[in-house]
A and B are shown apart, each in its own frame.
Chain A
Amino acid sequence: MEIRQVVGSLVCTHRIAGLGHWDLRLLQDTKGKHYVATDPVDARPGDWVFVVSGSAARYAMGDAGILTDLTIGGIIDRWEEERAAAVEPTSATSATTARAA
């Protein structure tokens, strides 16, 4: 699963029946690249979410008949604070490297 930020909704009236009437959200990764995902959890713009891709995205909709390859699996409770604290494991690795050297 990947972590993405919701930047808006996508209105798409003319669509295949296989997509149902599910909400579509416009997502963005940290590099600014855009993605579209089906949204069963009602995420809002600004929310950080994790997304399921591939065939698992169809199961994530609760119905493998929904023809999506990207589904929002859940809204992340906290992200910015945790990202700031995320350096620990990698610094442990570099400490090992320093010891080895």
Chain B
Amino acid sequence: MSKTTTQTPAGGAEQMPPAAAEAMNKSVLQPQAEGQPEVPMLQFITPEGTLNPDLEGGESRLPDPETQLWLYRQMRRIRHFDERAWVLYRQGKMGVFPPYGGMEASQAGTTAALTTEDWLFPTYRDTGAALTYGLPIKQTVAYWRSSPHGWYMPENLKVTPFYIPIATQYPQAVGAALAEKKKGTRNVAMAFIGDGGSSEGDFHEGLNFAGALNAPCVFILQNNGWAISVPTTTQTKAQNLSRRADGYGIPGIRVDGNDILAVYSVSRDAVERARNGEGPTLIETVTFRIKPHTVADDVTRYRPEEMTAGWDEKDPVRRLRAYLLAQGTLTEESEAALLEEIHTEFEEAVAAADSLPDPTPAEIVDHVFAEPTPQLKKQRAQIMEENGA
């Protein structure tokens, strides 16, 4: 598909030429190109919420019911955040926020395999991953409000701030992982990227470094179909991004990114391999960005509505819910209690974020160096003077 097909005439997506819409639809929903062998995508639970009949090993592959329920809780918790963040943005109580709705399994399932002794390198779309890892909601809200209070990263966590530049965190995760190895710990580093980010040079340098240096890294490639308005087929001729790992001599795994039980299982295995000194893994979670790039983005300009509808049916939350209800692991009553708890936790965190004081102008020049330079001291004095402090 040529780049030009993503352009739409003024007036919005409803005027998109039918041929272009069809090509884009095909590009994501039927991603196999001629001449490229299909890489199997691991799936435990079908979109309908039943055990995948083709799953080798059957039910024995699934985590125990308690873990299943716990994973469901993680997804509901971050979905609540994602939905409420949108509302808060509309109310002017949140800054521009990149939603991750639809990708809960991909974010919670991967991060659930970590402990807080491990490193997490999330991108801007991975708020759900950071929340699952343990970043407090209050802090996260402050961060997306562009308050410096959101920038004081907790000392007890090894989570980095959300990365805005794409792919730069891959080589950095290699460095953190390598440092842990050199210090003699069993801690690992997990870094996130999207399908668009896999075009960046740093993605490739990171994978190559990790392989060459046998760094205990788990690389998550969330293939959500889109890099803002550019579909994966315009991004690259490659159809199976997990196979990129082959070029660097490391395992590449392709998993249904909307099936949290499968995502969790492969992530846990990859983390374990890294801990045991067996080196890095690339995991491609095949998922979909239901929502726009950010809350300020008009997704209808580039994406036909029927595509969203197609993927909505594969909703990761809905899928596990159906399975858990059928198994009796979850009931309507226990779910209601869970949602109430999540709601309360969120409201309390937002109230706490609301009470954070505004920053002072002098904070602009704070935390540049451990010891401010003479130039910064002078500039700080200037800010104080100009602001009557």
Do A and B make up one complex? no
* Chain A interface residues (CB < 8 Å from chain B): none
* Chain B interface residues (CB < 8 Å from chain A): none
